[in-house]
Amino acid sequence: MHNKTVLITDDENEMREELSGVLKDEGYKVFEAADGQAAMKVLKKHKIDVMLLDLKMPVMTGFEVLEELKKNRIKVKTIVLTGSILGSTLPDAKDISYTEKIRILKFADLVMNKPFDVVKLLGKIGQLAVEQ
Amino acid sequence: MSDEITAGPDMEQFVPAQDVVYEIDLESSIISWSRGARELYGWKEADALGKRAYELFKTEFHLKMYDFIAETVKNYIWTGELSQFKRDGTEIVVSSHAILHRDDGGRPIGIIFVNTDITQLRKTTEALKRSEETFSVTINSIGDGVLATDMRGCITILNPVARELTGWTQEDAFGKPVEKIFKLINHNSRKPVIIPIMETLVKGTVGGLANNTVLISKDGSERDIADSCAPIKNRKGRVIGAVLVFRDVTERMRKDMALEKTRLELAATRISEDAAREYAESPIDTIREPLIALDQDLRVVSVSRSFYEFFKVKPEDTVGRLIYSPGSKQWNIPGLREFLEKILNEQTSFDNYEIEYDFKGVGRRIMLLNARQIQMAAGKERIILLAIEDITQRRKAEHILTKFNRTLRAISNTNQALIHEENEKAYLNNVCRIIVRDCGMKMAWVAFAAAGGKQNLLPVAQAGYGKGYLKWDSIKNVEHPAERAIKYGKTVICGDLGVEPGFAPWREEALKHSYVSMIALPLKSKNSTFGALVICSETIESYPDEEVKLLEKLAYDMSYGITLIRVRNEKTAVAHEVNKIAAFPKLDPNPISEIDSAGKIHYANPSFRRIFTGTVTDALSHPWFEGIGAIFRRLEHGRKKIIKRDIKVNGRYYMQTMVYMPADGTIRTYGIDITKKMNAGNEIRKLYRQMEVKVQQRTTEMLASRHLADIGTLAATVAHELRNPLGVINLASYNIRKNVRDSNVLKHLTNIDRKVAESGQIINNLLVYSRMKIPQFELSNVHGIITESMDNVSKQFGSKKIKLKGMIGPVKNTDIWSDPMQLKEVLTNILTNAYQAMDGKRGTITVKACLINGKRIRISVNDTGIGIKKEDMSNMFKPFFTRKIKGTGLGLAICRDIINMHNGTIDIVSKPGKGSTFTVTLPLRSIRA
């Protein structure tokens, strides 16, 4: 058994549940957050090894989270899980430019497209958790 | 740090190798050295740099070097010839243009020399000059008149005698047709005589004039001349002109006549001598001179025969009469009797007693008397023998000769005076003084014709008169001799002012000043008489023609002198003005130049030379004169024309004004530096272009979004939204699989996983189309793009049956403004289609690329596959149209949109069963960034 922690940040309940199920089976201690702000709270309270991060979220987007992490020098491994990285899919005014997105995405340790290969994802999480 | 022009590289750039260019600093040290200089002088750059120029060239110049530098610094430019020595010791002459080199602050930093070796030219010129000199010395020394003409019969040379005889100066005659200078008429018929020069020129023969030819000189005077004419030939024997030698035979003819007269006279003399012999008893009679013998009472005893002849008296009226008797009248000369009596009393003789007396029947004569007292053999009786010699003519001749000499001296001195005198008035006064002094005249004065007013004459210079004499007003209806001289342009002679009828108003005053005779000579310029030279003598003068001519010559010289001084002054004034005006372009900060069609720069102001260092030769290839050859060709022989244009030279913009000067066949250029203005303009243009790009991008964007609005936006949204649930389904399947061991359930889960993966693929295709970006234009090699796409696709298919052929050599070095990623996507799509069209069969795919007019590129992909049915053709580019079982039908739609956004076209030509050809045409620069 290990005591590595993973934070799942996704506004989709089903996604959090299914991911949580997979990770718990693998022995991770799992935290969940439905938006960026909630995730930031979790990060302040708990020591998180790996954070799984969706980009399109209400209240605080994944990009904003990445910037906050960088700004506050919060040390956590991040894997971005997204349906679309660059697509102009954010309906509100918060959408930012292409280059800005690329700049911010570079703060993440890994970007994976949904739907993703679960085994591959677990491998990456394990790897990053050890590095953390 | 000022932007110093390093002369070396700049020179190399502008000046072709053969030009000899070097620069010295203000200390005369060589600071740059062109290839041409190395070739001419034989010194390498390393040898020359740092050396003093005068040391290197072994010139005497160094003594003046600092003066020279100072002068060049002052005037910006110096042009001249220099004698220099090459490294091997040979002396050369160079034509040198030195140009002040200044930094941007205007501080002189050096002097650039642009030299041309003219040694050979100089040698040739000197040889030519020598031969010309020899020729002209020869011609000038000939006592005959010589004139030479060119092939057209126009005057090239008039020697001094010819000038004298024709009345033309070399300067005025030069280039004029010979007939105009050399007017001939027949002495008797007075009809024009043809000058044999034309015949000589045409036939190359020696010719001569008919006899009795009269030359009419410029002033209308006539001279009998004899002449001969010969061709001038060049070395090859070709006639290049003619020379006409002629002489004034008026004198000869006169002499001939005189000779005839003398001969006749001699004959007559002989006859009289024969007659004389009959009176041989008297020795007196044999004496040629009139001789008279007087007794002590001064009574005529005997008279020679010649006496009678001379005095035209008869023996009966003479012999036995008193010599001074009132009856004879002849010899009633005051003082003669006293002299004769003195001889008698003192028993002496006298020699050469000169008397001037108006002899009855003979006229006024000057006689030289020689008297001897002779003791007659008889004893006491004494006789006075009086020999009378008429020296009237001799005296006259002597007088004239003296006057001649004096006048000649005056002429000479007048001409001397001209050399030194710059002031007209001083010159005139000087000449008057010379006339009074040299010609022994009482007074001389010069008057100019005055226009209007009370006076017709305006005295301007004088010498030798009592004050106040020259003050007068014009007198109605009576013209002063000077006025007449001016009015008619002819010499007016008043031999005796005491009796001159027209001189009454001035007579009293003139005689009061002892002015007894007067000659008024007109002073003429080329076209008019502008004044008169008046010479007064205190004696009654006869003014023979020859003297009048000499005086006229003097007046002519004086006129010439006045003209010359005026011209000189005018020239000085003009030169001064020119210098003044010339200073303006010199000071002009903008480049000014004048160039001919051969590229020779006739003028370049310092700014021009400073801005375009080293452009003295081969100017036509300089950017400043770009296109000027064509302008010359267009304007040649046309009128004066002004052309303006903007031109970029050495990174700066100039508004160039070109003025074509038809008279000189040159174009003057004037440039105004408008770089700042242009840069501002360019900035605006740049912004405008950027705006244009933005507009175009915006348009493209709008175009793109319109397509996206069709399906793209929807697809993207759908795709993204689908991915999340798919992801969840995927995870859910994973979680179920972990807890289920039932093979049936596992089989269903596998189906779910498969379909999730397939959905993902569909979503991917949708997203490619929806994600389609605005092209990110950059310049990239089109050859590379094609090659890369071909490699990718052939690797992907890895089929050995299908041969992929590239014929893209023509675009090997072609760059295209495009989004290379998108172009690759297009090509990959088309190539994939082609592979799929082969349907697993053997075949060839050929990729061709070529340029159209250098502006567009055409890429075609040809396959030998199944082809496209006619009914499908129109749907080929529609989204979601597909002929494949698997496929989104988005591939070609994407291609079309990308190509559209690149301002290109895409076409398909196909024959079902034979194959298809996809052709993409793209501009090399669709958008200028």
Set of chain B residues whose Cβ sits within 8 Å of the Cβ of A115 = 723, 726-727, 729-730, 756-757, 760
Residue B101 and residue B113: Cα distance in Å, rounded? 10
Q: Within 13 A of B790's CA, how many CA atoms are on the CB side?
A: 22
Q: Which of A36-40, B77-81, B162-166, B923-927 has the highest mean pLDDT?
A: A36-40
- 3-state SS assignment for residue A120: helix
Give the per-residue pLDDT at B471: 61
Report CA-CA distances (Å) from B524 to B111, B499, B518, B558, B871.
Answer: 51, 29, 19, 9, 108
Tokens matching residue B844: 């060839």
Backbone angles phi, psi at B234, to 5 degrees: -85, -175
Backbone angles phi, psi at B159, to 5 degrees: -80, 170
- Cβ distance B771 to A86 less than 8 Å, yes or no, reads yes
- pLDDT tens-digit profile of B413-456? 777 776 666 778 888 888 888 888 877 788 888 888 876 655 67
Mutate to test the interface with B, among A19, A84, A113 (most CBs of B within 10 A): A84
Residue B434 and residue B428: Cα distance in Å, rounded? 10
- Cβ distance B731 to A19 less than 8 Å, yes or no, reads yes
Give the per-residue pLDDT at A28: 93
Q: Within 13 A of B623's CA, how many CA atoms are on the CB side?
A: 14
Paired strand residues for B117: B94
Give the per-residue pLDDT at B361: 67
Mutate to test the interface with B, among A18, A22, A82, A117 (most CBs of B within 10 A): A18
- 3-state SS assignment for residue B61: helix
Place of tokens 């989104």: B888
- pLDDT tens-digit profile of B746-773? 888 888 888 787 777 677 666 555 545 5
Question: How many domains are there within chain B?
Answer: 7
Report which residue type is found at B562: I
Count of CB atoms situated within 10 Å of the CB of B581: 10
- Residue B875 pLDDT more than 50? yes
- pLDDT tens-digit profile of B707-755? 545 555 566 666 667 777 888 888 888 888 888 888 888 888 888 888 7
Does residue B267 belong to any structural domain of this protein?
Answer: no
- Residue B648 pLDDT more than 50? yes
Between β-strands A50-53 and A5-9, what pairing exists: parallel, antiparallel or unpaired?
parallel
The partner residue sitting opposite A118, judged by closest CB among B717, B734, B770, is: B734
Set of chain A residues whose Cβ sits within 8 Å of the Cβ of B770 = 87
Does residue B264 belong to any structural domain of this protein?
Answer: no
Give the per-residue pLDDT at B1: 35
- 3-state SS assignment for residue A41: helix
pLDDT, averaged across chain B = 74
- Cβ distance B727 to A81 less than 8 Å, yes or no, reads yes
Place of tokens 């002819």: B490
Claim to verify: residue B409 and residue B477 sit in the same structural domain: yes
Among A32-36, A93-97, B531-535, B812-816, the range scoring the smallest mean pLDDT is A93-97
H-only helix segments in B708-808: 713-739, 743-770, 782-797
ipTM of predicted assembly, 2 dp:
0.71
- Residue B89 pLDDT more than 50? yes
Claim to verify: residue B316 and residue B380 sit in the same structural domain: yes
Name the residue ranges covered by the structural domains of chain A: 5-131
Of the two residues B925 and A72, the one the predictor is more confident about is A72
Claim to verify: residue B535 and residue B418 sit in the same structural domain: yes
Claim to verify: residue B780 and residue B907 sit in the same structural domain: yes
Out of B87, B117, B147, a domain closes at B117
Instruction: Give pairs for B692-695: CB < 8 Å, separation 24+.
Output: B693/B927, B693/B928, B693/B929
Residue B823 and residue B510: Cα distance in Å, rounded? 117
Report yes or no: B518 and B507 within 8 Å, Cβ to Cβ.
no
Among B163-167, B169-173, B775-779, the range scoring the smallest mean pLDDT is B775-779
Give the per-residue pLDDT at A34: 92
Of the two residues B816 and B404, the one the predictor is more confident about is B816
pLDDT band at B380 (very low <50, low <70, confident <90, very high): low
Backbone angles phi, psi at B904, to 5 degrees: -110, -175
Does residue B262 belong to any structural domain of this protein?
Answer: no
Residue B731 contacts A, CB cutoff 8 Å: yes
Instruction: List the Cα angle B239/B244/B247 in 5-degree steps.
Output: 165
The partner residue sitting opposite A22, judged by closest CB among B723, B724, B731, is: B731
Set of chain B residues whose Cβ sits within 8 Å of the Cβ of A57 = none
Give the per-residue pLDDT at B889: 57
Report CA-CA distances (Å) from B819 to B361, B695, B770, B832.
Answer: 133, 18, 17, 20
Of the two residues A126 and B798, the one the predictor is more confident about is A126
Give the per-residue pLDDT at B773: 56
Claim to verify: residue B544 and residue B565 sit in the same structural domain: yes
Give the per-residue pLDDT at B61: 47
Give the per-residue pLDDT at B128: 55
Does residue B125 belong to any structural domain of this protein?
Answer: no
Give the per-residue pLDDT at A122: 92
DSSP character at residue B710: I
Residue B452 and residue B459: Cα distance in Å, rounded? 15
- Residue B173 pLDDT more than 80? yes
Claim to verify: residue B423 and residue B539 sit in the same structural domain: yes
Backbone angles phi, psi at B876, to 5 degrees: -55, -40
Residue B918 and residue B847: Cα distance in Å, rounded? 10
Residue B657: which residues within 8 A CB-CB, separation 6 or more? B642, B643, B644, B669, B670, B671, B672
Give the per-residue pLDDT at B289: 64
| Residue B748, domain extent | 679-769
Beta strands, E only, B423-580: 443-449, 457-463, 492-494, 517-524, 529-537
Count of CB atoms situated within 10 Å of the CB of B623: 13
pLDDT band at A32 (very low <50, low <70, confident <90, very high): very high
Does residue B265 belong to any structural domain of this protein?
Answer: no
Residue B12 and residue B591: Cα distance in Å, rounded? 21
pLDDT band at B377 (very low <50, low <70, confident <90, very high): very low
pLDDT band at B918 (very low <50, low <70, confident <90, very high): very high
Residue B769 and residue B787: Cα distance in Å, rounded? 24
Report CA-CA distances (Å) from B771 to B259, B717, B719.
Answer: 131, 11, 11
Residue B234 and residue B240: Cα distance in Å, rounded? 6
- 3-state SS assignment for residue B477: coil
H-only helix segments in B373-423: 392-420
Claim to verify: residue B742 and residue B800 sit in the same structural domain: no
User: What is the distance in angstroms between the Cα of B712 and the nearest Cα belonging to chain A?
Assistant: 11
Q: What is the CATH number of the domain that holds B884?
A: 3.30.565.10
pLDDT band at B66 (very low <50, low <70, confident <90, very high): low
Report CA-CA distances (Å) from B668 to B595, B617, B651, B656.
Answer: 6, 16, 22, 10
Give the per-residue pLDDT at A53: 93
Tokens matching residue B620: 């036509």
Q: What angle, rounded to 10 degrees, do the helices at B713-739 and A13-25 form?
A: 30
- pLDDT tens-digit profile of B231-282? 666 555 666 677 777 777 666 555 555 444 444 444 333 333 333 333 333 3
- pLDDT tens-digit profile of B883-903? 554 455 567 877 888 888 888
Residue B530 and residue B562: Cα distance in Å, rounded? 10
- Cβ distance B728 to A116 less than 8 Å, yes or no, reads no
Out of B747, B769, B791, a domain closes at B769
Claim to verify: residue B18 and residue B99 sit in the same structural domain: yes
- pLDDT tens-digit profile of B105-128? 666 777 888 787 777 767 766 665
Report yes or no: B445 and B534 within 8 Å, Cβ to Cβ.
yes
Give the per-residue pLDDT at A92: 43
Residue B760 contacts A, CB cutoff 8 Å: yes
B883-909 burial by CB neighbour count: b if 16+ within 10 A, else e? eeeeebbbbbbbbbbbbbbbbbebebe
Residue B598 contacts A, CB cutoff 8 Å: no
- Report the pLDDT averaged over residues B129-133: 55
The dihedral sign for the CA sequence A92, A97, A100, A101? positive
Claim to verify: residue B827 and residue B685 sit in the same structural domain: no
Q: What is the CATH number of the domain that holds B176?
A: 3.30.450.20
Of the two residues B55 and B103, the one the predictor is more confident about is B55
A26-43 burial by CB neighbour count: b if 16+ within 10 A, else e? eebbbbbbbbbebbbebb
Report yes or no: B884 and B843 within 8 Å, Cβ to Cβ.
no
- Residue B359 pLDDT more than 80? no
pLDDT above 70 as % of chain B: 72
pLDDT above 90 as % of chain B: 3
- Report the pLDDT averaged over residues B200-226: 74
Paired strand residues for B667: B595, B660
Give the per-residue pLDDT at A6: 95
Paired strand residues for B130: none
Claim to verify: residue B413 and residue B555 sit in the same structural domain: yes
DSSP character at residue B811: G
Does residue B46 belong to any structural domain of this protein?
Answer: yes
Residue A83 and residue A64: Cα distance in Å, rounded? 17
Give the per-residue pLDDT at A79: 92
Topology of the domain covering A5-131:
Rossmann fold (3.40.50)
Claim to verify: residue B426 and residue B566 sit in the same structural domain: yes
Q: What is the CATH number of the domain that holds B715?
A: 1.10.287
pLDDT band at B176 (very low <50, low <70, confident <90, very high): confident
Q: What angle, rounded to 10 degrees, do the helices at B545-587 and B424-438 form?
A: 160
Tokens matching residue B142: 């000939």
Burial of B863 (0-12, 13-18, 19+ CB in 10 A): buried
User: What is the distance in angstroms between the Cα of A72 and the nearest Cα belonging to chain B?
Assistant: 30
- 3-state SS assignment for residue B134: helix
Report yes or no: A128 and A110 within 8 Å, Cβ to Cβ.
yes
Claim to verify: residue B543 and residue B413 sit in the same structural domain: yes
